[in-house]
Amino acid sequence: MPQNFLRIHKSFIVNKNRIQSYNNDSVEIDSRILPIGSLLTKTFLPYNTHRKKVNM
């Protein structure tokens, strides 16, 4: 998988550069809310410490 993509759920792979905001269990991309899989939360959250974390 290219470096700028990240699996956030078994059904979703996203471009890291397109993430607008996130919280502990979802990501916003292009005004769509996508879930973060419970097993992938530990992988996703450390990457996004520089992104805007919001309560959606």
- The domain spans of the chain are 5-50
Report the predicted TM-score, pTM, of the whole model to 2 decimal places. 0.71
pLDDT at 40 over 80: no
Q: How confident is the model at residue 41 (pLDDT cuts 50, 70, 90)?
A: confident
Asked if 20 and 14 touch (Cβ cutoff 8 Å), the reply is no
Q: Given this model, what pLDDT does residue 29 score?
A: 93
The encoded tokens of residue 54 equal 């919001």
- Better-predicted residue by pLDDT, 15 or 48: 15
